[in-house]
Structure 1
């Protein structure tokens, strides 16, 4: 059994090493894409609308929205959508409109047959109509560089793809275990995006041509679904449509004193979206959960048993070898973060993230609902919304 766990540990380290190399490739691609975005494509930049669903009073929202509104894009229509006039985000939007008169604020109304974010996005599209040739959908709490819109729209403007996606990274502002584990979880998902088999739209930064939006019936899909990106990814995958990953379309968010409950709920949603919309990838995620969690548990038992004199043989030595190899591999991951992190705390964050990942995945196996903000959604096959209720 010791040999089996050690082999699992070697496979785990090999996977982490491959993903680290993927991160280096993404960094090179991002530099190339930023250079390409400096020049207008043949025929010029198409008209683009940036549709931003917003809700709540996140303290990061105003600065993030301001960064999205300051895009260096020549023909650009920004639209922020809230569910109602009484949403706390409305006050932020009113202040922004004083500095950005082109900004449009759209009221979507309360969702009844789909997730609220889907309804907000569709209301934004309806308000834009044919005034744009490209739709860019963005989250409201991540910071964007001035070239973000050009990088995300570039493949669409050059007719290289009909759908594009970016992603985001977390800048940890402290070295707390939860903050670092959250940053590591997001980094893992970004690196998996760089593997072609796992590339799919991310709702926080995705683009599509208006023609593709209409051709593939995106409005019809979103109008009955709980989520925007995973449902779209499943549909495009089934139809063999390629989604172009734009490495330079990278948003950034900060995290400090990150709460365990917030992190757990976020991770649970990511797993559940795949369970309902892309069950094949959800099953592969289960394999990944075992691969991430099993070697640390084995090493803990083997090393603890060796220290207490309860176990002998090669197990403690092999566990120590695995731990050294893991530390060396994860040390390379630190270079992919915006800020430096001590190796010891980074290792602790990896163990914390692996444990929560396995726990959350196991909890999603019997789940039939998704809790998101103040709503609980009952979800069927393909992410179709079957019902909803407000959280108690």
Structure 2
């Protein structure tokens, strides 16, 4: 079983392969990655079922140190950058003819760069290794969401499951309202965190010491690199590449925000003193241990353990029966989250059950 699981994490590379194949078929094939992620993957996710097996405590340190698991994530970084450069080249040399093809092209690209790419960036951004953190920033640069590196690690992990966290969805808050609050609130909060850090260190806010300035500019530089490179190759300015780059970025970080919405919907920690909350534990995130989708998402769905122990590597994250459980894996839950009445009907009873189990009274109006 362990050998199968090791190989299983390479399933993520199926998605860009499907996308490249479908592009050269043209027409409605542009939506093949969408069909794969939101129809075939959920179907097989349910058929294969849930994996509750945890790494034995005596083996956790050894498994965490295995280079194999880091290597998979390193390879993804290079695959994503090459893939994105290929997609820009494809736009420049064989642009889609019809509007529906453009839509399929952009959504399918965002599924690769956001659905998996930001997941890998999230994993790498939590590690102490300078190389892993650099790779995390590279991936986030490719989807115009570099502030996530600051906000997620220094903001979200501190304030998660409290009213102060823009990335924690309130009960009865639909995804579309959450998207605006999380996207703009997260960016604003990242600025506040960086400003505070700079003042402590005695640096000016308006300087290259300010990561938020650098993080805001780097995606623009990367887009300019793509544009100039294609000008040199084709002899033409391919303005479609600009539209493509920023559009796929919006799709990518919208997928991230859908995942944020799913992971923390309605859960709030007890306030033990004014402005102070109980310590984060595995009860404070929605969990899903569906085997197949966890392969694709590097065990991100074992989110309860991740928030309790943020520096644990993906291959040793635990399943907890006592954590609040999602009825389906993320691909299915993402679809449901886009239809608020269905989402509320499915999740509100589960949320109320979680509150009763934990003898909890919501602090949120």
Structure with more of its chain in helix, by fraction: 2
Q: Normalising by the residue count of structure 2, what TM-score does the alignment of the two structures yield?
A: 0.25
**Whose relative contact order is higher, 1 or 2, with alpha carbons under 8 Å and at least 6 apart?**
2
Larger Rg: 1
Q: Normalising by the residue count of structure 1, what TM-score does the alignment of the two structures yield?
A: 0.24
